[in-house]
């Protein structure tokens, strides 16, 4: 029999706050974290702004932070979010519970300081045009095939997951995935499956990412994916708006504690929501473009709804992938219509990226946390900077102001670079 899986802990490190409450309050109030890049001198780059985590120090979360001084921000963000999630779940004490039945599944990617060879290549590039040795093809190769092997000074993809397991004494399954913008959502979905089929009782799952460095910004510029609205950075992320011109790169981490229901009840854990649906597909189309008809997205959403034992009409809110790129937003809209039909216009939809920017491998988990909070509070965040409707994007995107909505089931979409599609459904817990 398939076991039920619930969320009993949540932790985030984001540009809009380092606690779940701060993050959600910022979202409901429509605040943005986007501003000029401070991590390096980007004045000559086509894109000069990002959504940064500022003032972060791992020592604020871990007493022995110096142990991780050699690690990049990927690992630092993950450790901080993991500490908060484990503490929230009441599992921080390594003597609590059977640790061999507790594991880690983390979505990760290229870190902030883990590309010395390629970053050195930028010294011979022209930042203003993005030309030089680091071209679009090389950037794509690194994004998708970076596990060819570690280079000097780099960390492998699984490093954050390994550090989390060691730090919090999690001796069970330890896995990592790198499916770009869908990575943390895939990590959560696969962790759910491990618990459902009795391979673990507790999984700490989510993702971490930081690419606000010259290679990240230059590479995405070469792919024409980033907004270049340098005259108004705070309004640059405008999902579904007719005048959108690309996404805003962000960074951060989010981890949730997933737990088998009876295990959670036995120890009196707080249950935030139940993970009821998971759908995963590939477009099998192009590395940098979604399928124009949204076929993979449609199947992922439909699979998640069926996995939860629901019908499309049961979904009360959709947290969209909503990147603010021309292709993603129109394709996602088409995909939602393909699943929900005429009812698509009745479902509130919003994009957290309008305020957070795009946290890449950490985006899905942070957005799921926002979904869980919306489910519990009965209010959904807006899509800010929505000014001019796009005829191809004609659904209800909750423009500019939060809205009170009572619902039982929420759908969270994550569509990744390379055609990865993940859909998750969180539901109000009913015993």
May I ask the CATH architecture of the domain 281-427?
3-Layer(aba) Sandwich (3.40)
Domains 5-266 and 281-427 share a fold: yes
**pLDDT at residue 240 in the model:** 98
Distance CA 357, CA 336 (A): 22
Q: What is the mean pLDDT of residues 79-84?
A: 98
Q: Give the confidence band of 158 by pLDDT, cuts at 50, 70, 90.
A: confident
Bridge partners (DSSP) listed for residue 345: none
Amino acid 153: pLDDT: 35
Three-state DSSP class for residue 366: helix
Note the pLDDT of residue 152. Answer: 35
pLDDT at 135: 56
Q: What is the pLDDT of residues 387-427, one digit of tens each?
A: 999 999 999 999 999 999 999 999 999 998 888 999 999 99
Which among 267, 255, 254, 265 has a CA at the least distance from the CA of 98? Answer: 267
Determine the pLDDT at residue 137. 57
Q: Is the pLDDT assigned to residue 203 strictly greater than 80?
A: yes
pLDDT of residue 138: 53
**In this predicted structure, what is the pLDDT of residue 131?**
47
- Position 116 pLDDT exceeds 70: no
Q: Is the pLDDT of residue 370 over 50?
A: yes
Highest-pLDDT range among 68-72, 256-260, 294-298:
256-260
Mean pLDDT of the chain: 90
- Give pTM, 2 decimals: 0.91
What would the mean pLDDT of 366-379 be, rounded to a whole number?
A: 98
- Helix, strand, coil shares of the chain, percent, nearest 5, are 35, 20, 40
Which pLDDT band, with edges at 50, 70 and 90, does 177 fall under? Answer: very high
Which pLDDT score, from 0 to 100, does residue 117 have? 45
In this prediction, residue 275 carries a pLDDT of 98
Closest CA to 272 of 201, 373, 404, 366: 373
pLDDT band at 145 (very low <50, low <70, confident <90, very high): very low
Q: Active-site residues: which are they? A: 181, 321, 358
CB 308 within 8 A of CB 217: no
- Cα separation, 422 vs 301, in Å, equals 8
When mean pLDDT is compared across 96-110, 179-193, 197-211, the lowest value belongs to 96-110
pLDDT at residue 356 greater than cutoff 90: yes
Which pLDDT does position 148 carry in this prediction? 38
The CATH code of the domain at 5-266 is 3.40.47.10
26: left (phi over 0), alpha (psi -120 to 50) or beta: alpha
For residue 230, give both structure tokens: 């340098």
Where along the chain do its domains lie? 5-266, 281-427
Q: What is the pLDDT of residue 291?
A: 87
What pLDDT was estimated at residue 156?
57
Nearest to 168 by CA among 85, 269, 275: 85
Average pLDDT over residues 191-218: 94
| 154 has a pLDDT exceeding 50 | no
Distance CA 118, CA 211 (A): 13
Distances (CA, A) of 180 to 108, 186, 201, 255, 420: 8, 10, 27, 16, 8
pLDDT one-digit tens code per residue, 323-336: 999 999 999 999 99
């Amino acid at each position: 029999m398939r076991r039920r899986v619930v969320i009993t802990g949540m932790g985030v490190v984001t540009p809009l706050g380092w606690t779940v409450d701060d993050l959600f309050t910022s979202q409901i109030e429509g605040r943005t974290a986007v501003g000029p890049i401070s991590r390096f001198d980007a004045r000559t780059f086509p894109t000069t702004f990002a959504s940064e985590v500022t003032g972060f120090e791992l020592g604020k979360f871990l007493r022995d932070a110096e142990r991780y001084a050699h690690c990049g921000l990927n690992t630092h963000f993950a450790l901080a979010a993991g500490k908060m999630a484990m503490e929230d779940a009441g599992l921080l004490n390594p003597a609590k519970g059977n640790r061999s039945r507790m594991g880690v599944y983390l979505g990760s990617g290229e870190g902030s300081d883990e590309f010395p060879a390629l970053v050195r290549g930028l010294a011979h590039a022209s930042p203003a045009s993005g030309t030089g040795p680091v071209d679009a093809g090389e950037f794509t190769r690194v994004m998708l095939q970076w596990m060819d092997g570690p280079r000097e000074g780099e960390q492998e993809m699984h490093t954050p997951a390994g550090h989390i397991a060691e730090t919090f004494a999690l001796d069970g399954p330890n896995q990592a995935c790198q499916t770009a913008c869908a990575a943390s959502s895939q990590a959560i979905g696969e962790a759910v499956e491990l618990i459902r089929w009795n391979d673990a009782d507790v999984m700490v799952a989510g993702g971490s990412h930081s690419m606000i460095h010259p290679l990240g910004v230059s590479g995405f510029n070469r792919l024409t994916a980033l907004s270049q609205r340098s005259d108004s950075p705070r309004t640059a992320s405008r999902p579904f708006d007719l005048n959108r011109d690309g996404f805003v790169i962000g960074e951060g981490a989010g981890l949730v504690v997933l737990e088998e229901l009876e295990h959670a009840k036995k120890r009196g854990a707080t249950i935030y929501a139940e993970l009821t649906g998971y759908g995963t597909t590939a477009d099998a189309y192009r590395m940098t473009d979604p399928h124009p008809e949204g076929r993979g997205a449609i199947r992922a959403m439909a699979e998640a709804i069926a996995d939860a034992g629901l019908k499309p009409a049961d979904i009360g809110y959709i947290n969209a992938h909503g990147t603010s790129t021309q292709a993603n937003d129109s394709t996602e809209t088409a995909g939602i219509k393909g699943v929900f039909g005429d009812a698509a216009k009745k479902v509130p939809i919003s994009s957290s990226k309008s305020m957070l920017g795009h946290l890449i491998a950490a985006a899905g988990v942070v957005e799921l946390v926002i979904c869980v909070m919306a489910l519990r509070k009965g209010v959904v965040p807006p899509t800010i900077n929505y000014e001019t409707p796009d005829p191809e994007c004609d659904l209800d995107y909750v423009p500019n102001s939060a809205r009170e909505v009572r619902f039982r089931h929420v759908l969270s979409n994550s569509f990744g670079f390379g055609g990865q599609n993940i859909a998750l459904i969180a539901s109000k817990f009913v015993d």
